[in-house]
Structure 1
Amino acid sequence: MKKYFPLILKLAAAIIMLQTLFFKFSGAQQSIDLFTEIAGENQAYMRIGTGVIELIASILLFIPKRTWLGALLALGTMTGAILSHISILGIIHNNDGGALFIGAVITFLASLILLILNRKDIPFLGGKL
C-alpha cells in the first residue's frame, strides 16, 4: 500500500482538477456564474487562468522530479478555491451539496501530502527539510 499511496494521491488530485476543466474552458454557464461571483467582470481571465494552472499542475504531478511543483501549484490554487468558498461563495454553491468545496479540500490535502513526500526534490530547499 505504501508504494501506491503517492499514486493514489496524484490520481485523486488530478482527477478532481481535470474534471472541472471542461466547464472552465467551454464557458459553461455554471462556471461563468461561479467565477463572476468571485472576480466580477474579470471572470473569464480568472476562469481560464485557473484552468490552465490546474492543467499544468495535473501534468506535473506525474513527472517524477516535478511532482513537488505540481503539488505546490495545486496547493496554491486550492487554497484560493477554499478561501473563495469560505468568504464569498459559501460551502454549498448552486445547490451542489458542497461537492466543489469538498473536491478542493481533498485536492488541497492530497497536494500537501505530495509536497511533503517530495520535499527532497525542491531545488531551493536542497533537501534540507
Structure 2
Amino acid sequence: MLSHIKRYAPIGISLFAAVVFLDSLRFKFTDHPNTQEIFGRLDGWAGTLGAPGLFGHTGLFSQYVIGSAELLASTLLLVGLLPRFVRLNALGALIGFAVMSGAVSFHLFTPLGIDPNNDGGGLFAAALTIWFSAIALLMIRRAELIGLVRDLARAFVPTPTPAAAPRRAPAHA
C-alpha cells in the first residue's frame, strides 16, 4: 500500500497543481476583471511604498509575469512525470512553491486580504492548497532537487585542479 502511495502521489500532486496553474491562466492572460482588481489593488499598495507600477501591466510582478511563471511551473510538473525528466518535476515544484509563497504572502500581509473577489476566500484557499502541494512534492522529490543543485554547481562552479608538481631539471652528466 505504501509503495503505491509513494509511486502515485507525485503524479497526482503534479497533475493537480498543473491543472490549477493552467486554469488560472485564462484569468491572467485575458485581463479578467477579477485579475485587474487583484493586481490593481496590489499595485496601489506598492505605490504607497514608493514602487508604483510594480504590479501593473508592464511591472516586474505583473499578471503576465506571474502567469508565465505558472505556465513554466505547470509545464515542468507535467514533463517531469516522464521517468527521464524527474528532476524537471522537482524544478516545477520549486517554481510553484515560489509563486505560491508570493501569493499567500500577498493575501496575508497586504491590503489584498484573503477574500479579494468576495468568493469566500476561494482564491486564497486555492493558493494555500497549491502551496502545500508544492511543499509535499519538494519533500518527495528532495533527492532529485539535490541532484539538480549539484549538477548546476558542477556546471557553474569550477572545481580546483591539483597543482602540477614542479618539473625537475634534467640531470646533466
Could you state the TM-score of these two structures normalised by the residue count of structure 2?
A: 0.68
Report how many residues are paired: 126
Q: CA deviation at 1:101?
A: 0.5
Among candidates 25, 29, 35, match of residue 25 of structure 1: 29
Structure 1 runs of 4+ with >6 Å offset: none
Deviation string 1:20-46 (CA, Å, 9 cap, x unpaired) is 101100111110110111124442231
Matched, 1:5 2:6: no
Shift of 1:11: 1.6
Gaps of 5+ in 2: 45-52, 81-85, 152-173
Inter-partner Cα distance in structure 2 for 1:17 and 1:43: 21
Deviation string 1:85-107 (CA, Å, 9 cap, x unpaired) is 11221111221111110111110
5 Å-filtered alignment, 1:75-86, equals: 75-86=97-108
Out of 133, 138, 146, the position equivalent to 1:115 is 138
What are the superposed Cα offsets for residues 59-88 of structure 1, whole Å, 9 maximum, x if unpaired?
101222211110010000000000111122
Say whether residues 1:55 and 2:71 are aligned partners.
Answer: yes
Which structure has more RCO (C-alpha within 8 Å, separation ≥ 6)? 1
In structure 1, runs of 5+ residues without a counterpart are none
Q: Which residue of 1 aligns with 2:87?
A: 65
Task: State the Cα RMSD in Å.
Answer: 1.5
Query: Contact between 1:32 and 1:43, CA under 8 Å: does it hold in 2?
Result: no
TM-score normalised by L of structure 1: 0.90
Q: What CA distance in whole angstroms lies between the structure 2 residues aligned with 1:101 and 1:117?
A: 24
Identity in percent = 33
Q: Does 1:124 align with 2:145?
A: no
More helix by share: 1
